[in-house]
Amino acid sequence: MEHQSPTNVHLRLWSKDDLSLLERLMGDPAMTVYLEGPESPEQIRSRHDRYCRLSDTDKGLMYVIVVGAAGVAAGSVGYWETEWQGQTVWETGWSVLPEFQGQGIATKATMLVVELVRRLDRYRFLHAFPMVTNGASNAVCRKAGFTLQSEVELEAWREPGKMLRFNDWRLDLSADQQ
Alpha-carbon distance of 64 to 123, in angstroms, equals 23
pLDDT in tens, 26-41: 999 999 999 889 999 9
pLDDT in tens, 146-166: 999 999 998 877 778 888 899
pLDDT at position 106 is: 97
CA torsion angle 175 138 30 110 (round to 10): 20
Fold category of 2-172 in CATH = Aminopeptidase (3.40.630)
Task: Give, to the nearest 10 degrees, the angle between helix 41-54 and helix 19-26.
Answer: 130
Alpha-carbon distance of 149 to 161, in angstroms, equals 24
Give the number of other CB atoms < 10 A from CB of residue 30: 7
Between β-strands 125-128 and 147-155, what pairing exists: parallel, antiparallel or unpaired?
unpaired
Do the beta carbons of residue 66 and residue 74 sit within 8 Å? yes
Low-confidence ranges of the chain (pLDDT < 70): 1-7, 176-178
Give the residue extent of every domain in the chain. 2-172
